[in-house]
């Protein structure tokens, strides 16, 4: 079994600079540009992941008792599906895309080229430690970049194993994984990158964006926040309860797209809570601490933070904690108010507050008063209300009558908006996230329309007409 990597040496800014310099030279050599190279690297990665499947599941288990089922379904399976989807489509995505010429630049052959940015820094969180390093990396490779991954220090078993896998697969001048904590992250962020892809908290997202601004480095921020889940009086309550409990307590609530809190219509609130309590028991038994399917909190700091919410509202179920075991029971807090502490920050743990509403107007008002969420969920049988909700609120992504599952479709861009993030990835959007779309207008020499050249006398009417007919 792997040892936890507690004694990892932090990277100095000088070492970070050496890494960037080596990768820049590799990128400049042009090796990453051909389709065949990219395809081959993705193949090598896939083979290595398949070969290490058991070890990855075990590392995830050691980091926070993630059950093997969740380890496969939410990490390995998702990554292999992304690898297959991107590998299958990459050649066609890489081809310059032809667009029609405009009347003003006619005659011209116009195309969009997809250029790799160069050397990308990928900074990862701990909560889906395998997937959230691998999926951005797949995008970076597919788009022809070199990449440095900064793994999370809070999931040391997975970070060490992925470092091993990356080391087996790639020349470090092409792809390299760096382990370490905040000072390593800071040393890396001091460097000039061609592109930064960050997944983590809003607080650190601001630090990353500030560092990127120094060199005007393009940055993708996959952040968090509070994701509301609204259940109205027309919803299928039993089904809603099952889906919400699944999405909330998977990964012990340490999921960026988990429903953070419930807004339930007053008429069905009690019924919903009763059903959710029952579903928790069905899923995890009388004592979820004994369940092999319920993970632990990642560390003592997060344990303290999440436990501190348990004083708010009234405990409808759960509430039990065990610091030694980093265990917090799947908990529902009833009768929570907007001003309670649990409503002031992202929970990121197995605690689900329930608030009550009377009208959809009220829901829309409360949601749009607050920062734009990463995800939002609405359970209702009324399609008119669903439409109104979709039109009058915004979020990174949404599900109607479900939670979390929008994340699983590689054809949907995944990302936040406002404080929940900027930019998106998954599938083709990952390829685009790591590519610069270069516009090219290619001219022949045989015709040179004189309209644009001075003297302009007598040409204004013609130019107005050209704009009118489609510019």
Active site residues: 222, 256
CB nearer to ligand NAD: give 110 or 222.
Answer: 222
| Alpha carbons 214 and 64: distance in angstroms, whole number | 36
Q: Does 348 bind ligand NAD (CB under 6 A)?
A: yes
Q: How many residues does the chain have?
A: 471
CA angle in degrees (0–180, nearest 5) for 356-359-362: 80
Q: Using CB under 6 A, which of the segments 140-148, 216-224, 333-341, 385-393 binds ligand NAD?
A: 216-224
Phi then psi for residue 224, to 5 deg, are -130, -145
- Among positions 83-102, residues that touch ligand NAD (CB under 6 A) are none
Can you tell me which of 76, 141, 204, 352 binds ligand NAD, judged by CB under 6 A? 204
Q: Is 421 one of the binding residues for ligand NAD (CB under 6 A)?
A: yes
Cβ-based nearer residue to ligand NAD, 360 or 433: 433
Q: CB–CB of 2/157 below 8 Å?
A: yes
- Give yes or no for a cis peptide into 107 (omega within 30° of 0): yes
Quote the DSSP letter at residue 310: G
Please say which residue, 313 or 416, places its beta carbon nearer to ligand NAD: 416
- Fill in the per-residue mask, 363 to 392: x = in contact with ligand NAD (CB under 6 A), - = not in contact: -----------x------------------
Q: At 10, phi and psi to the nearest 5?
A: -75, 150
Residue 129 binds ligand NAD (CB under 6 A): no
Using the rule CB under 6 A, give the single segment among 149-157, 161-169, 171-179, 455-463 that binds ligand NAD.
149-157
By CB under 6 A, tell whether 223 contacts ligand NAD. Answer: yes
User: Would you say 421 and 202 are in contact if contact means Cβ atoms under 8 Å apart?
Assistant: no
157 or 265: CB nearest ligand NAD: 157
Binding residue for ligand NAD, selected from 94, 124, 268, 347, defined by CB under 6 A: 124
Q: In which element (H, E) is residue 252 found?
A: none
| C-beta atoms surrounding 41 within 10 Å | 20
How far from chain centre, in Å, is Cα 75? 13
Interaction residues for ligand NAD, span 231-260 (CB under 6 A): 256
| Minimal distance, residue 162 CB to ligand NAD, in Å | 13
Among 70, 222, 232, 260, binds ligand NAD (CB under 6 A): 222
Q: What is the enclosing helix (H) or strand (E) of 336?
A: none
SS3 of residue 396 by DSSP: coil
Question: What is the nearest approach in angstroms of ligand NAD to the Cβ of residue 126?
Answer: 5
**Cis peptide bond prior to 237, omega within 30° of 0:** no
Q: Hey, which residues between 316 and 345 contact ligand NAD (CB under 6 A)?
A: none
Q: Does 132 bind ligand NAD (CB under 6 A)?
A: yes
CB 5 within 8 Å of CB 63: no
**Residues 57, 123, 173, 268: which binds ligand NAD (CB under 6 A)?**
123
39 Cβ contact list (under 8 Å, min separation 6): 87, 90, 91
Tell me phi and psi for residue 317, to 5 degrees: -160, 160
Site residues (vs ligand NAD, CB under 6 A): 123-127, 132, 150, 152-153, 181-182, 185-186, 189, 199-201, 204, 207, 222-224, 256, 346, 348, 374, 416, 421
């Amino acid at each position: 079994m792997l040892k936890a990597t507690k004694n990892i040496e932090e990277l100095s800014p000088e070492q970070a600079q050496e890494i960037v310099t080596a990768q820049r030279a590799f990128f400049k050599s042009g090796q990453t540009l051909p389709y065949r190279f990219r395809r081959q690297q993705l193949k090598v990665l896939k083979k290595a992941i398949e070969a290490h499947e058991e070890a990855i599941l075990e590392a995830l288990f050691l980091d926070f008792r993630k059950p093997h089922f969740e380890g496969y379904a939410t990490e390995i399976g998702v990554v292999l599906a992304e690898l297959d989807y991107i590998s299958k489509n990459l050649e066609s995505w890489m081809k310059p895309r032809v667009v029609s010429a405009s009347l003003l630049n006619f005659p011209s052959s116009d195309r969009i080229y997809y250029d790799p940015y160069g050397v990308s820094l990928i900074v990862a969180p701990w909560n889906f430690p395998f997937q959230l390093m691998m999926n951005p990396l797949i995008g970076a490779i597919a788009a022809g970049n070199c990449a440095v991954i900064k793994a999370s220090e809070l999931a040391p078993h997975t970070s060490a194993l992925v470092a091993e896998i990356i080391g087996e697969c790639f020349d470090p001048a092409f792809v390299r994984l760096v382990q370490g904590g905040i000072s390593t992250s800071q040393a890396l962020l001091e460097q000039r990158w061609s592109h930064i892809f960050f997944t983590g908290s809003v607080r650190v997202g601001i630090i990353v964006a500030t560092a990127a601004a120094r060199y005007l480095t393009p940055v993708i921020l996959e952040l968090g926040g509070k994701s509301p889940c609204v259940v109205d009086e027309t919803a299928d309550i039993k089904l809603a309860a099952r889906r919400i409990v699944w999405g909330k307590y998977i990964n012990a609530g340490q999921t960026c797209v988990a429903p953070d809190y419930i807004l339930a219509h007053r008429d069905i609130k009690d019924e919903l809570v009763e059903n959710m309590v029952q579903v928790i028991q069905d899923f995890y038994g009388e004592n979820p601490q004994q369940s092999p399917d319920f993970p632990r909190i990642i560390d003592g700091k997060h344990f303290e933070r999440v436990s501190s919410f348990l004083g708010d509202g009234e405990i409808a179920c759960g509430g039990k904690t065990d610091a030694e075991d980093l265990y917090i029971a799947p908990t529902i807090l009833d009768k929570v108010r907007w001003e309670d502490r649990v409503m002031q920050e992202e929970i990121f743990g197995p605690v689900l507050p329930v608030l009550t509403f009377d009208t959809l107007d009220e829901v829309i008002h409360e949601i749009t008063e607050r920062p734009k969420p990463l995800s939002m969920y609405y359970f209702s049988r009324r399609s008119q209300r669903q439409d109104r909700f979709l039109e009058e609120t915004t979020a990174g992504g949404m599900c109607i009558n479900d939670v979390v599952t929008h994340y699983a479709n590689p054809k949907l861009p995944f990302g936040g908006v406002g404080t929940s993030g900027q930019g998106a990835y998954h599938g083709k959007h990952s390829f685009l996230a790591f590519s610069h779309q270069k516009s090219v207008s290619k001219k022949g020499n045989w015709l040179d329309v004189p309209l644009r050249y001075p003297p302009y006398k007598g040409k204004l009417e013609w130019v107005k007409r050209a704009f009118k007919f489609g510019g």
